A and B are shown apart, each in its own frame.
Chain A
Amino acid sequence: MTFFGDRSVKAEAARAAKKVALKPTDQRKTIKDLKVGDTAQIVDFIIENEPVRKIQAMGLRRGKKVTIMQKLGRGIVVKTSNSRIVITVDVARNVEVK
């Protein structure tokens, strides 16, 4: 049995809807909007789905500074502390930064 894996879809949707109401998703700056060489700080996660929970466990957490090392196709290499993580655009647009 997974620990966090079985949260209800409804709750997720409700939360996502609330956030959208607070600030439209397209106005929030995400990792997807950063350029190679940019450094920014993670402030929030727009949708906390499975891949987002995975990258959190891999070290991309609230308050962490990230640097964009390379972008290629749908892949983005993000560096935080001493680890480098490849994420795809569909994951990157759920990570809000400032």
Chain B
Amino acid sequence: MNEIIKVALAGNPNVGKTTLLNHAAKTNLKVGNWAGVTVEKREGFLNYKGYDIHFIDLPGIYTLEPISEDEYIAYNFIADEKPDVIVNVIETTNAERDLLLTTELLELKRPMVIALNMSDEAHKLGIEVDSRHTSELLDIPVVKTNGRNGDGVSELLDAIVESAENRRVPKTVRYSEHVEDALGALERRQHGAEIDKRTLLRMLTEGDGQNEEKANLEKFFRKDINSIIKDERYAFAHGFYNEAFRKRKVTARDITDRIDKVILHPILGFFIFLLVMFLLFKISFDFSTPFMNWTQGLIDNFFSPLVLSFLSGVGGGKWLPDFFSQAIVGGVGFVITFVPLIAMIYFLIALLEMSGYMPRIAFIMDRFMHRLGLHGKGMIPLLLGFGCNVPAVMATRTLENKRDKLLVMAMIPFMSCPARLVVFSFFAVLFFVHPAVVIFSLYFLGIAIGLLTAFFLRKTAYRGKLSHFVMELPPYRVPRLRTVLLIVWVQVKSFLYKAGTVIFAASVAIWVLLNTPPNLKSQSDSAAAYVGKAITPILKPIGINDWRISTSLIPAFLAREIVLSSMGTIYSADVHKKNPEFHFLPALVEQAKALGSATKESFMSLLTPGIQTLQTDEGNRNLASAIRSSFTPASALSFMIFLLLYTSCLATVAVMAREGGKTFAFLFLAYSFVIAWGVAFVVYQVGSLI
């Protein structure tokens, strides 16, 4: 059994703590170039030189004086859990700012290692630091690191082990004479008990009226005690910075400042934001469509016949091929064809997050947001909501005010995520001439309902003044392709995992219910039909008058994609495919050729200005036309609206319950159902008249 070293990564926001951990422990934790990517404790494990190093990555904090929830998480861990070694990650370019936290951590007198991260960026800006000299000044290891390429990470690990083995604590921080005298007097009164400086300082500031030292200091400095201590810490940090860091003059103008002249421009900035959003949609639609068609072809023309020809060889009755083509190909396979679309959206969102543009959107949009009584910083969780509502709800932790937090949380589920897009892209193409326009309108409808919800809540439950807004803008950085692809892979993997577990289970359950009781003449007598028919009266006014759809909506509460896999399972039972001759090699060659032309088509589509969109030219026509028979354009639209607005996602409801309380989550779920039903009802009734 190896000895365990518990290591806490502490530092200001966006200094690269998670990136360093990803290098050190080979983890794939989510990173981004903005303050507040990490909002919970995350872990990484590494076996190194006979030790089990247990890393705990903490949300970024500027000071051990927490305000927002994510800051409390970091603070509580450092204060209560007593890690064996604290790794203080410093962004070398902003070292003077970062040294306040360092000073506070030094006061704890615990084994500590300093990682001077982004030293390459600092060098370009003319900031030099002598790590050996710094190490001597503090008597703890100081290591230069580079999160981009992982330089210095092995030295950091050595330093952690050394620090833990020797319990190497830093030199005591010394403040000005008067403060030190007061602390000395306090310490003497403790009769030799060992007390760290931070505790002593707290005794000084929190002492009651009897505290003579406090009164004397306040009289001498003519400031209150908290200001005195704070200024002492700033003075120490400033003095230390001047001692350890050197700045030479550089003539080159900062590239970030130049880009910001355009990006943050009052008028241009807004149009650039619109353009970026347009491109986000265009590229994710157009680029992924040929690949989606290809994936569908691969499943329908290669895997499915391959397995079926194998199954027919095995024998064993009709149920096995039926199960395979209905539950597996019809259900799970149907959802998997949308992987390229999902991957593309995550790729583009990761680019936004890694470049440093994300918080700038918050700044540009605050102009409009604050008129609606919303916090500009709330834009970040809302934008993340277009990727997935779950991390978006978590991201509200960075908001300092409970009211702002709940307001934003009540808007997030209306931001359409890729799971909804998957459903829209199928139905919009099937029923409308301009699917892109329909999908855009749905996205805007979601945003509008979100804004209305916030407006309504602000007039009722969450009155009160809009709080201030303080946020850091990171420097622009060119995203590393490797990091971006890794983020995409993590998301695709979790989608495939969902397809293999929840979606698979739902498809099997639906298939079993469809075939219960056994040997039915018609599916409409099955248990699945019975369940669906029971809830059809609720859905009839919004145009859904078919048990096959209402049955599909029930398991879709687990995740919206399931509505498609369930429909796929049910409807593919109606589709009688002929089994053409299947020859392995020619089929494989054909698939490879198809991939080539899909790739070509994808890149070509980027050259056209408009959105081509999602025209599935071939593929599962039978399934599509079977589903088409159950809808009219009006009911298809109302169905999409219902699925857009109703929080049909167990993971989102669960995370809302955790972050905002069970009552909040439950009320919101009910509200979203009512709103979804109401809007769908109006749209269907009006649509049916036209």
Binding site for B on A (CB under 8 A): 1-5, 7, 11, 15, 48, 50-51, 53-59, 61-62, 69-70, 72-75, 77, 79, 81-88, 90-91
Contact = CB atoms under 8 A, between A and B. Distances in A.
- Most B CB atoms within 10 A — which of A54, A57, A70? A57
Interface stretch (B169-177, B410-418, B470-478): B470-478
A53 B224 CA distance: 14
Given A54-B470, A57-B101, A69-B257, 7 more contacts: A53-B230, A74-B366, A82-B254, A84-B256, A85-B473, A86-B359, A86-B469
Interface stretch (B61-69, B381-389, B534-542): B61-69
Contacts of A79: 257
Contacts, number: 123
A4 B266 CA distance: 37
A12 B202 CA distance: 19
A58 B362 CA distance: 18
A11 B224 contact: yes
B468 A59 contact: no
Contacts of B256: 84
A84 B471 CA distance: 9
Contact of B205 (A3, A53, A81): A3
Task: Give the interface SS of chain A, mostly helix, strand, loop or mixed.
Answer: mixed
A58 B366 contact: no
A17 B289 CA distance: 66
**Ordered nearest first, which 10 A-B pairs have the shortest CB separation?**
A73-B367, A59-B97, A57-B62, A84-B473, A57-B63, A82-B93, A70-B264, A88-B469, A51-B468, A4-B226
Contacts of A75: 363, 366-367, 376, 469
B208 to A, nearest CB: 12
Contacts of A61: 234, 238
Contacts of A59: 94, 96-97
B621 to A, nearest CB: 51
Nearest to B35: A58
A2 B224 contact: no
A88 B473 contact: no
B125 interface: yes
B385 to A, nearest CB: 21
Given A4-B230, A48-B227, A56-B230, A72 B473 contact: no
Contacts of B269: 72
Nearest to B270: A72
A86 B96 contact: no
Given A4-B230, A57-B65, A70-B260, A91 B363 contact: no
Interface residues of B, number: 49
A37 B35 CA distance: 25
A56 B233 CA distance: 12
A85 B35 CA distance: 11
Contacts of A91: 468-470
Contacts of B470: 51, 54-55, 58, 85-88, 91
A81 B234 CA distance: 15
Nearest to A55: B470
B472 A82 contact: no
Nearest to A8: B224
B370 interface: yes
Given A58-B470, A83-B94, A84-B472, A72 B65 contact: no
Contacts of A83: 94, 97, 472
Contact of A86 (B65, B234, B473): B473
B7 interface: no
Given A2-B65, A2-B66, A72-B367, A77 B468 contact: no
Given A75-B376, A81-B96, A54 B472 contact: no
